[in-house]
Amino acid sequence: MVRPQKEPLRALTDHERRTLAQVARSGAERADRVARAKELLAVAAGASFIEAARAAGRRSGDAVAALVARFNATGLAALTARPGGAPPRQYGPDEAERIVREARRTPDRAVDGTATWSLTTLQRALRRAPDGLPGVSTFTILRVLHDAGFTWQQDRTWCETGVVQRKRKCGVVEVVDPDAVAKRG
């Protein structure tokens, strides 16, 4: 016996119907978007939720019911997958700035135990500092440094992309490449 639909699909506009049909036929769209479009079109044609799920190659009528409720609330945005169950980020812009500031600091051999920064030595320094981050991971440091424009130099350490030090007659000069971000892609 089929359960009654708690929230039936609202009437589709012409634009929504055309877009859903186009996505359902597409071979270049993501498979999950195609399946959602097929499910919505089947429900709009009068199929039950379980029949719509089977028509799209799925099994769960409850998932179709949730999709219909989401489509009624948000429209075509319901086709797009929402973020999954990733844990929330613990470190905001202030902590990211603290990580970048520490990476820019030249390490002291006596205190830090290194002459160049690696992810683990940077992690150790951040965890030991009084204003540091006691639980920061190397992955968080890696992500923050990449976002800030740093790259790993094979024979050196983490360096800011496009910023190098050159020897000149007058001494060591810092040279900045303004197109470094564009070159990096």
Residue type, 100: V
Position 5 scores a pLDDT of 73
Query: Does residue 150 have a pLDDT over 60?
Result: yes
More confident residue, 66 or 160: 66
Measure the CA–CA gap between 11 and 44, rounded to whole angstroms: 8
Pair (45, 128) in one structural domain = no
Pair (73, 37) in one structural domain = yes
Query: Does residue 152 have a pLDDT over 70?
Result: yes
Pair (103, 175) in one structural domain = yes
Measure the CA–CA gap between 118 and 134, rounded to whole angstroms: 17
Over residues 91-142, the pLDDT tens digits come to: 889 999 999 999 989 888 888 888 888 889 999 999 999 988 999 999 999 9
Query: Does residue 78 have a pLDDT over 90?
Result: yes
Pair (179, 98) in one structural domain = yes
Over residues 15-58, the pLDDT tens digits come to: 999 999 999 999 999 999 999 999 999 999 999 999 999 999 99
Measure the CA–CA gap between 25 and 127, rounded to whole angstroms: 53
What is the chain's mean pLDDT, rounded?
87
Query: Does residue 167 have a pLDDT over 80?
Result: yes
Position 2 scores a pLDDT of 59
Expressed as residue numbers, the domain containing 61 is 14-79
Measure the CA–CA gap between 154 and 171, rounded to whole angstroms: 25
